[in-house]
A and B are shown apart, each in its own frame.
Chain A
Amino acid sequence: MAVTEQEILAGLGKIINEITGIPAAEVSPEKNFVDDLDIDSLSMVEIAVAAQDEFGVEIPDDQLKHLKTVKDVINFIQA
C-alpha cells in the first residue's frame, strides 16, 4: 500500500528536524527549502539520503536539484 501524503510529510518533518533543527511543524508542503527553510545544498543531500532510507525511494542528484519545495519531494516519493 502506498504511503499517504500525510505520512510522507510527517517523515520528512522528522528528518529535517534531525538534520537542521528546524521544528517539524514548520515543514509544510508549500515551503521552499532554500528561501523558506534556509537549507543549504549539503543539507539537502543529507535529507535526500535519509529520505531514501525512510521511504525506499532513491532520489538521484540530477532529480534532487529540481525538488524546490517540500511538496516536490512528497510528489517525487509518491510517484
Chain B
Amino acid sequence: MSTNRVRVVVTGLGATTPLGGDVASTWSALLDGRSGMRPITDDWVDTVPVRFAGVAAVDPSEVLPRPEARRLDRAEQFALIAARQAWQDAGAPEVDGERLGVVVGSGIGGIGTILSAYDLYREKGWNRLSPFTVPMLMPNGSAGWISIELGAKAGAHSTVSACATGAESIGYGVDMIRSGRADIVVAGGTEAAIHGLNVASFAAARTMSTRNDEPERASRPFDKGRDGFVLGEGAGIVVLESEEHARARGARIYAEAAGVGYSSDAYHITGPEPEGRGGREAMLRALKDAGLAPADVAHVNAHATSTPVGDEIEARAIKEALGSHAIVTATKSMTGHLLGGAGGIESIFTILALHERIVPAIANLDDPADGIEIDLVRGEPRKLDGGQLAAINNSFGFGGHNVAVAFTSV
C-alpha cells in the first residue's frame, strides 16, 4: 500500500429503506431479521404477475414539506432525505464549498415522473406540465439538489451502472478525495421504481420472484427455493472525508473506505458470466487497491439478489477471490433490491457490521443451494472478532458492471 496516498474515511451515514426511515431503525430491523416486503396496493397491481414489493417504510411525503416534495421525483426525495441524515450524522462539518463534492446516482432515474408526466401531457397538453418536469426526471437530479442544499462546488456527479450505481458512486467519491479534488464527498445511490411498468419489465426479463402468497419469504438469496429478486426502494448515502480533514475536526470515524475494485463482464447484457470472473476480479482489485490480503477480509455483504442464476456464481467468485473464511450475508433478503440504491445501503450495512462487530443473518435461508462453499450467516446474527478487520460490499449491475468496495475498521 502506498503510504503517502490520501486515506478516505466514512464519517456520516444516511438511509431510508423498506425497513425504516433512517439508518438506526433499518439496522435494528436487519439484526432482528425483519422483512420489508408488503403487498402492493396500487391500481396497476392486477396487471402484473408480482403483487408485492419492498415499499419504503416511511413515505417521503411524511418527512418533506409539501412545496419541496412536489418539485422532486420520489427518487430525489429519498436521496435528499438520506443526504440530510448523513450530513447531520457527520456533524454538519464546516467545509469550504469548493472542497465539497457530491456523487449520487440512480439506476433508472425519475421514472415515476416520466410516466405520470407523459400521461398528463397526453391528456392535458404541454402547458399543464410542471416546469420542474425535466429536473425531476433526469437521473442526475438528486446530485444537483444535494449540491444546492449543501453548497457543494467541487463537482456534483452521477454514475449510472444499474444495480452497481450506489457502490460505483462511493468509488467515484473515494477517487475525488484521493485525487485532491475534494476534502469531503457525499456519495451513494437512490431508487424509486415500484411502478407497474418497471415490475412488468423486470417480470418480462423473468428476473422477479412471484411468491405472491408469501411476500416476506420471497427474497431468499442462496436458498434452493429462490425464484427471483424482490423490488425495493429508498436511498443510502454516506459522507466520505479525507482522514486528515476528519481528524482535524475530531469527527467520529466509522471505517476507512480503503479500496474500490471495478470490472465488467463483457459477456451478456443481463446475465452474469457463468464462471464468476467479473465479481472475482472486482474483489481482487478492491483488495489490491486497499493493500489488503484475502485473509484480512472477515465479512462480505454479497450482492446476492435471490435470482436462480446469480447467487451461486457470486458464491463461487467469493470463494475464489477470498477463500471460505469470510462471513457472508445477503441483506436483500430483508430490504429487497433497491437497484441503484442497493450499493448505498449495503455499503452502510458493511460499514456498520465492522463498526458494531456484528453481521445480520440472511433471512429465508432454509436450505442452501448445493455446492456453495462460503460461510453464510444463518439463523442469528454473527459476531465479528476484535482487532483490525476488513469487509467488502459487492454490487453488480445489468450491463455487466461489477463493483467491490473494501472497508476497514479504524
Point out residues on A near B: beta carbons under 8 Å: 18-21, 42, 45-46, 49
Specify which of A20, A42, A49 is in contact with B128 (CB 8 Å cutoff): A49
* A20 CA / B67 CA spacing, docked (Å): 5
Instruction: Beyond A20-B67, A42-B132, A46-B130, list 8 extra A-B contacts (CB 8 Å).
Output: A18-B67, A18-B70, A19-B67, A21-B68, A42-B131, A45-B131, A49-B127, A49-B128
Q: How far is the CA of A20 from the CA of B128 in the complex (A)?
A: 18
Residues of chain A with a CB closer than 8 A to B67's CB: 18-21
A27 to B258, CA, bound (A): 54
Closest CB-CB distance, B281 to chain A, in whole Å? 46
Interface of A (DSSP majority class): helix
Query: What string of 1s and 0s marks CB contacts (under 8 Å) between B244-263 and chain A?
Result: 00000000000000000000
- Kindly state whether residue B65 has any CB partner on chain A within 8 Å: yes
Most buried by A among B67, B68, B70, B132: B67
The answer on a CB contact under 8 Å between A46 and B131 is yes
Chain B, 56-84, contact with A by CB distance < 8 Å: what is the 0/1 string? 00000000011110100000000000000
Which B residues lie within 8 Å of A19 (CB)?
67, 70
Q: How far is A21 from B68 in the complex, measured between Cα atoms in Å?
A: 8
Bound-state Cα–Cα, A32 to B64, Å = 27
- Over the window 121-161 of chain B, the binary record of Cβ atoms lying under 8 Å from chain A Cβ atoms (1 yes, 0 no) is 00000011011100000000000000000000000000000
The CA-CA distance from A42 to B129 in the complex, in Å, is: 11
Which chain B residues lie closer than 8 Å to A20 at the CB level?
67
Chain B residues with a Cβ under 8 A of chain A? 65-68, 70, 127-128, 130-132
A61's nearest neighbour on chain B, judged by CB, is B127
Q: How far is the CB of B304 from chain A (nearest CB, A)?
A: 43
A-B Cβ contacts below 8 A, count: 18
- Nearest opposing residue in chain A for B132, CB measure: A42
Q: What separation, in Å, do the CA atoms of A46 and B67 have in the docked complex?
A: 11
CB distance from B407 to the nearest CB of A (A): 40
- Chain B residue contacts of A49, Cβ below 8 A: 127-128
Q: A42 vs B67: C-alpha distance in the bound complex, in angstroms?
A: 13
In this complex, the member of B66, B68, B128, B131 whose beta carbon has the largest number of chain A beta carbons within 10 angstroms is B131
Candidates A21, A42, A45, A46; contact of B66 at CB < 8 Å: A21
10 pairs of A and B residues whose beta carbons are closest in the complex: A21-B67, A42-B131, A45-B131, A20-B67, A21-B65, A19-B67, A49-B128, A46-B131, A46-B130, A42-B132
Residues of A within 8 A of B128 (CB): 49
Question: Closest Cβ of chain B: how far from A14's Cβ, in Å?
Answer: 12
Inter-chain contact A18/B66, CB cutoff 8 Å: yes
Q: Which residue of B lies closest to A58 (CB)?
A: B127
Give the distance in Å from the alpha carbon of A49 to the alpha carbon of B70 in the complex.
15
Best-buried of B68, B127, B128 by chain A (most CB within 10 Å): B127
List, in ascending order, chain B residues with CB within 8 A of A46's CB.
130-132
- Residues of chain A within 8 A (CB-CB) of B68 are 21
Of chain B, the residue at the smallest CB distance from A16 is B67
Report the Cα distance A45→B128, complex, angstroms: 10
Q: In the complex, what residues of A have CB within 8 A of residue B65's CB?
A: 21
CA distance A49 to B67 in the complex (A): 16
Residue contacts A-B, CB under 8 angstroms, 10 given: A18-B67, A18-B70, A19-B67, A19-B70, A20-B67, A45-B131, A46-B130, A46-B131, A49-B127, A49-B128
How far apart are the CA atoms of A42 and B132 in the complex, in Å? 8
Closest chain-B Cβ to A65's Cβ sits at a distance in Å of: 14
Chain A residues with CB below 8 A from B66, complex form: 18, 21
Complex CA gap A45/B129 in Å reads: 10
Closest to A43 in B: B131
From residue A44, how far is it (CB to closest CB) to chain B in Å? 9
**In the assembled complex, which residues on chain B have CB atoms less than 8 Å from the CB atom of A45?**
131
Inter-chain contacts of B131 with A (CB < 8 A): 42, 45-46
A46 CA to B66 CA in the complex, in Å?
14
Assembly CA distance A18 to B69 (angstroms): 11
